[in-house]
């Protein structure tokens, strides 16, 4: 059986390595079962749809809504690779789960709209399943509402035409959706433990996601949060695909 792959969109090596480990642990995969491909340094290989049976995409300090004139060659290369993956997964040629930064790429590539109107503070937020979410193969076994971790400056204003809304909240109405049977996207981070998330916070402390002086307070909220449900999505993805 072909392995799964984590596609890295983070230029910070330490944060990228930790994010991979968070995905691998949450999905209960060995290093052979979840490979790693760094889009920051290597383009998406042409045979990605047959090399791997599915892909998970994490976060990034990049934003889809950054002015095109400010985007580096690295960012443009990452966006190009993830756009290819989104088209392929939407067509049923492979499976993909886009998270945080990744949902923005999938939304834009498939005809939706990404905006700066729906940022969420760094830390825990409560997410609720929709009726379609309760019936979904990956989300259906979750609690009706659950706590997840967010840290983002942009969100989905309009989903792709074929998208089915799976989860929502008031601050960012599009928290998760599915396109077809093999493309999933979440605005929240399903992979980190509270401890892993606070370590990631330290890397991006001065990047505008939160006031640096609030670090200890936010970290305390994160460490106190119950985060049992989001990782179940990743395990279901690994088992289903």
Q: What is the pLDDT along the chain (241 residues), one digit of tens a residue?
A: 899 999 999 999 999 999 999 999 999 999 999 999 999 999 999 999 999 999 999 999 999 999 999 999 999 999 999 999 999 999 999 999 999 999 999 999 999 999 999 999 999 999 999 999 999 999 999 999 999 999 999 999 999 999 999 999 999 999 999 999 999 999 999 999 999 999 999 999 888 889 999 999 999 999 999 999 999 999 999 999 9
* Domain boundaries 4-240, corresponding CATH code: 3.40.50.880
Domains of the chain, residue spans = 4-240
Estimate the crossing angle of helix 230-240 against helix 13-27, to 10 degrees: 70
Q: Which residue has the tokens 């923005």?
A: 104
Nearest to 114 by CA among 125, 122, 105: 105
Nearest to 57 by CA among 48, 65, 46: 48
Any idea how long the chain is?
241
């Amino acid at each position: 059986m072909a392995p799964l792959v984590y596609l890295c969109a983070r230029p910070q090596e330490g944060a990228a390595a930790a994010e991979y480990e968070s995905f691998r642990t949450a999905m209960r995969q060995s290093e052979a079962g979840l490979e790693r491909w760094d889009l920051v340094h290597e383009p998406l290989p042409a045979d990605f749809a047959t090399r791997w049976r599915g892909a998970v995409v994490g976060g990034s300090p990049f934003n889809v809504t950054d002015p095109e004139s400010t985007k580096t060659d690295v960012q443009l290369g990452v966006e190009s690779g993830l756009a290819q993956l989104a088209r392929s997964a939407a067509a049923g040629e492979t499976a993909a789960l886009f998270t945080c930064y990744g949902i923005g790429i999938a939304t834009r590539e498939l005809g939706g709209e990404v905006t700066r109107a729906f940022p969420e503070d760094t830390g825990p937020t409560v997410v609720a399943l929709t009726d379609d979410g309760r019936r979904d193969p990956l989300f259906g076994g979750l609690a009706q509402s659950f706590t997840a971790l967010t840290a983002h400056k942009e969100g989905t204003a309009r989903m792709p035409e074929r998208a089915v809304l799976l989860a929502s909240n008031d601050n960012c109405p599009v928290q998760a959706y599915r396109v077809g049977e093999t493309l999933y996207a979440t605005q929240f981070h399903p992979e980190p433990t509270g401890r892993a998330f606070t370590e990631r916070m330290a890397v991006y402390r001065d990047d505008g996601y939160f006031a640096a002086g609030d670090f200890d307070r936010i970290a305390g909220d994160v460490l106190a949060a119950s985060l049992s449900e989001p990782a179940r999505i990743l395990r279901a993805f690994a088992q289903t695909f």
